Amino acid sequence: MQQINFNAISVDQVSIPLLKEKKVELDVLRLDKMHPEISGNKWFKLNLHLEQAKKENKKTILTFGGAWSNHILATAAACNLHQLESIGIIRGEESAALSFTLQQAAATGMKLVFVNRTDYRDKIIPASLHNCDYYHINEGGFGEIGATGAATILNYCNKEAYSDICCAAGTGTMTAGLINASVASNSITAISVLKNNFELEEKIKSLVTNQQQRFSVIHDYHFGGYAKYKPGLIRFMNGYYSHTNIPSDFVYTGKLFFAIDDLIRTNYFAPGSKLLLIHSGGLQGNRSLNKGTLIF
Ligand SMILES: *Cc1c(COP(=O)(O)O)cnc(C)c1O
């Protein structure tokens, strides 16, 4: 298993005509480059959990996810690196053809246990695992420990330099971590990738330790819902790649880049703003798209 390469993380400056026109500067923190499987925010969200599990002498990590989950693959790979066993409770019956993500998770040593959608929703642990002494991590890594780990993402940039820090949000754990690590001059903008997930603000607040910090959640760029997309998103992602050389994924970072581009266009950010976008990884999920859909 390949080690995580923190030296590969870079801050890339984007220069496209729109930014010049609107007098906005934009950098991208490239967490996607640190590892092919444990990419982006997932390592930061998992790391303290794995350390805690070891402290508690647990040998096995158990968590939940869907067939294309970045969290599932990252957990499998991170456990492999930490020499921990991993169990993934997977939503839906086992299909004859496993997704690429699940094939890789299994190849990395994760034991996959499939449960029906109702049991998955209720987070029911199958009876076959009741005797197993595992350390539990929430679906998507939601929670305080994940947020504490995610706060260290900002160690990889000069946060004082930015007026705005922008990220994609699923559970909001990374967003909370960024808020907790930010300085007073930063304002955090999270793009929700789920449809009408209006509880997200409260969930983020439940993990935030510096309550006076400014943040906003924008709900207008979900493209139909979680892991849904429209041709316009794919076109944008291909265009963004050809202009900036930065690849994105259609579940999270594609929606983030699209949203921020649109918000800059519509003068959401004042002239003189300096934005940092968190490239939170997740590129492996693009393998669920038909070949040729994306140019990268
Ligand atoms: C999981 C994930 C997110 C969302 O992180 P949360 O902490 O759940 O909000 C964002 N981007 C990528 C690429 C992810 O895999």
Residue 205, pLDDT score = 97
Q: Is residue 268's pLDDT more than 90?
A: yes
Would you give the distance in Å from CA 205 to the centre of its chain?
18
State if residue 253 touches ligand 1 by the CB under 6 angstroms criterion.
yes
Put the strands of the sheet holding 215-218 in their side by side order.
Answer: 11-14, 25-30, 274-279, 164-169, 187-192, 215-218
Q: What is the pLDDT of residues 114-166, one digit of tens each?
A: 999 999 999 999 999 999 999 999 999 999 999 999 999 999 999 999 999 99
Going from the Cα of 280 to the center of ligand 1, the distance in angstroms, rounded, reads 6
Q: What is the pLDDT of residues 48-63, one digit of tens each?
A: 999 999 999 999 999 9
Average pLDDT over residues 77-88: 97
Q: What is the pLDDT of residues 187-208, one digit of tens each?
A: 999 999 999 999 999 999 999 9
Q: Whose CA is nearest to atom 15 of ligand 1?
A: 282
Residue 94, pLDDT score = 85
Going from the Cα of 131 to the center of ligand 1, the distance in angstroms, rounded, reads 31
User: Is residue 278 a contact partner of residue 166, using CB atoms and an 8 Å limit?
Assistant: yes
State if residue 66 touches ligand 1 by the CB under 6 angstroms criterion.
no
Q: Is residue 2's pLDDT more than 90?
A: no
**Percent of the chain whose predicted confidence (pLDDT) is above 70:** 100
Q: Is residue 252's pLDDT more than 90?
A: yes
Q: Which of 252, 256, 258 to mutate to test the pocket of ligand 1 (most atoms within 8 A of CB)?
A: 252
Residue 93, pLDDT score = 85
Q: pTM (2 decimals)?
A: 0.97
State if residue 168 touches ligand 1 by the CB under 6 angstroms criterion.
yes
State if residue 65 touches ligand 1 by the CB under 6 angstroms criterion.
no
Going from the Cα of 169 to the center of ligand 1, the distance in angstroms, rounded, reads 6
